[in-house]
Amino acid sequence: MTKILEQLNEAQRQAVTATDGPVMVVAGAGSGKTRVLTYRIAYLLEQGVDPFNILALTFTNKAAREMKERIANLVGPEARNVWMGTFHSIFARMLRSDGHLLGYPSNFTIYDTDDAKSLLRSIIKELNLDKKVYPANVVLGRISSSKNNLLNAQAYINNDEITTADKAAGRPLIGEIYRIYEKRLFQSKAMDFDDLLFKTNILLRDFPEVLHKYQHKFRYILVDEYQDTNYSQYLIVKKLSANDENICVVGDDAQSIYAFRGANIANILNFRKDYPEVKVFKLEQNYRSTQTIVNAANGVIAHNKDQIQKVVWTENVSGDRISLFRAATDSEEGRKVAGSIFETKMNEHCSNQDFAILYRTNAQSRSLEEALRKQNIPYKIYGGLSFYQRKEIKDLLAYFRLAINHEDEEALLRVINYPTRGIGATSQQKLTIKAQENDVSLWEILDKPGTYGVEIGASVGNRLHQFKTMIESFSARIKKDNAYEVARHIASTTGIIKTLNEDKTPEGISRFENLEELLNAINEFAEKEPESEDEEEAPKTLDVFMQDVALLTDQDNDDKNDSDRVSLMTIHAAKGLEFPYVYIVGLEENLFPSMQSLNTRADLEEERRLFYVALTRAEKKSTISYAETRYKWGNLIMSEPSRFIEEIDPQYLDIPPSHYHRESSTAQTRQRAPFKDKPAYKKLKAGQPSANMTKASSARPKPSGDFPACNPDEIFPGIEVAHQKFGNGKVLNVEGKGANKKATIYFKNVGQKNLLLKFARLKIIKS
């Protein structure tokens, strides 16, 4: 074990060996948090602690599995006996043992989210409530929040503040639905995911003998990602550790980004109040990122008031400054990011998997996906579907497809009863059977159900006729009207916009934003200036747009290397991951930080922590970008650069000169002129280099229209050349012939570059 401890730095070693009493390990980004947890458990086992007396709680099964494997490698198979797993899995294990005291058998069923929603839909139907007024996921969200705050159905109904809010939202009967839901779950001897925490709290509260048993069983308790715990989890951990107080929590308040899931940052901020004798260890050495990234991230998070003070540092190289891209539109932003990835891959000999693009909302992936496809850069959507594969997008596209081609059976079946219009599964089955029996299309049957002997009621027949008439009305407009006008008309007339807009859960808001983004894409298509003769001849109609979409969504079956892809994901999904090169896009006010976060300081600080997480995912290079305009429901909206850009010390930013020119011309149209109060930025806008900027940045030559480029045939190894963008450099190697002739050049300001000579426009300064 002495050799193992030698693998830790001093702060890590102290956190590992301080085994008695309450301990808080504040672990900065990239500081070896998992290593400390793993080695601490291994150290306890080495010191003779029974593995059955150790409880380690994580947030993912993957984290628990990896930690067990690492511990086993350190101390052997005894690691398998440690009680290690997610909160839900550990508490389910406790409930299977002692849940009989609450009236549950050991084999109780656990309902997942879909099971819970299905039960709620049945209850809502039985109560004759409008499912549009009481969407199952909205109701489940309210119930989930209540359980995580330890409110059962009766407490919910008795809470005036909660019931008043439900009445104001037009859903006064959520409490009654909750009561029936709670009863039906118990009758089925089932618990939903939130019950696993809720019932454990009740078990430990109402049965002292059970609490006593687990307090004496778990003599050492460790909690990972403590900043992400909610109130229910906090109480369980506090009760279990109350006897010995050998509790070790590990986390980073600067990475608390899950308040929307119920996480309470106060749990880690107030840990010292709960345990006045706590020993605090700060892991401040970052092993992941360059000095530039670490220092820039420190400067940003310093703006938060509620935090545990620490100074993250690194011995890694200084590294490149953070690049800032300004784009006129989100489409241009996508092209700049894709172009930068392509260039970096060529110059640095990188793999696709070395790159990640992070965004605030899933809807932003659309322009990025299209730009990457055009550069033939393979990518994957991490933790979500490709934009055009998301349900809400496929639903609207199905309407477009059916309006264009009535014989498209898959599209017809997808939307005939969405949004709900009373053409249920039984009626659809009858139509399908008759179409198969008569060897005709489903649309043909829909057109003349009586002719083919379809036995349906008059009311259903009337609904089928209304649906058919609606689709035909869409078809009549496709060839005549602008693509966006038709698309918006279809989205509105079918009721899809209304349906998605009524769902105010985080998932519902995301789906609504995705629909908006699709319509934005169609509007851009309709207004885009033609770039070729073919585009001049092609009409800007919806059927032409759909042809483009069909090509974009076609899978590349020849790509056998599925792992080497650029990763696209939300910043929330990127938590815990790292990549050599990271692009953070959409840094605009009301997008990042989001509009919903601007109401309170607490919400804004969570957004800033989210940006901190994004910055610290990068190992070598971080690039941030924003667009000056974005479409919002077909209207072009001016965007203001995010305040988070201002909060990065300018010495760590590589800002293109065009940024300042554009900034000065548009500042008057904005409520806040970015960078206006920073002296360093004022100097830069005035053409003076900041004292903090490197000599290399101020030494770069500005592009000039009269730059006299030499003939590519005059370029040979050993000569010194000048480049308009990269400055002066020395030619190291020349290869290829004619139009394919390339040169490898080392530039003093930017390092080594591989340039195609016919485009490089070099000037010989010393032969």
User: Among 220, 282, 293, which residue's Cα sits nearest to residue 22?
Assistant: 220
Catalytic, out of 40, 414, 463, 617 = 617
Catalytic, out of 255, 285, 494, 541 = 255
Angstrom distance (rounded) from CA 179 to CA 191: 14
In the annotation, is 436 catalytic?
no
**Residue 538 structure tokens:** 């092609």
Which residues have CB under 8 Å from 574's CB, separation 6+?
A: 356, 358, 382, 613, 614, 617
Element (H, E) at 86: strand 83-86
Angstrom distance (rounded) from CA 624 to CA 325: 6
Angstrom distance (rounded) from CA 592 to CA 644: 8
**8 A C-beta contact, residue 567 and residue 368:** no
**8 A C-beta contact, residue 366 and residue 393:** no
- Beta bridge partners of residue 631, listed in sequence order: 636
Calculate the alpha carbon distances from 127 to 141, 165, 182, 187, 660 in Å. 19, 21, 15, 18, 61
Catalytic, out of 33, 70, 199, 390 = 33
Angstrom distance (rounded) from CA 752 to CA 754: 7
Catalytic, out of 182, 192, 194, 225 = 225
The three-state (H, E, C) secondary structure of 681-742, written as one string? HHHHHCCCCCCCCCHHHHHCCCCCCCCCCCCHHHCCCCCEEEECCCEEEEEEEEECCHHHCE
Sign of the dihedral defined by the CA atoms of residues 665, 692, 679, 293, in that order = positive
User: What DSSP line would sit under 157-186, residue for residue?
Assistant: HH-HHHHHHHHHTT-TTHHHHHHHHHHHHH
In the annotation, is 34 catalytic?
yes
Place of tokens 């008439």: 469
Which residues have CB under 8 Å from 713's CB, separation 6+?
A: none
Angstrom distance (rounded) from CA 612 to CA 727: 33
In the annotation, is 617 catalytic?
yes
Catalytic, out of 14, 17, 19, 34 = 34
Sign of the dihedral defined by the CA atoms of residues 174, 178, 184, 185, in that order = positive
In the annotation, is 225 catalytic?
yes
User: Among 213, 147, 211, 134, which residue's Cα sits nearest to residue 174?
Assistant: 134
**Residue 380 structure tokens:** 């994957």
In 491-594, at which residue ranges do the beta strands (DSSP E only) sit? 566-570, 579-584
Catalytic, out of 182, 194, 195, 224 = 224
**8 A C-beta contact, residue 155 and residue 521:** no
Q: Could you list the active site residues?
A: 33-34, 224-225, 255, 617
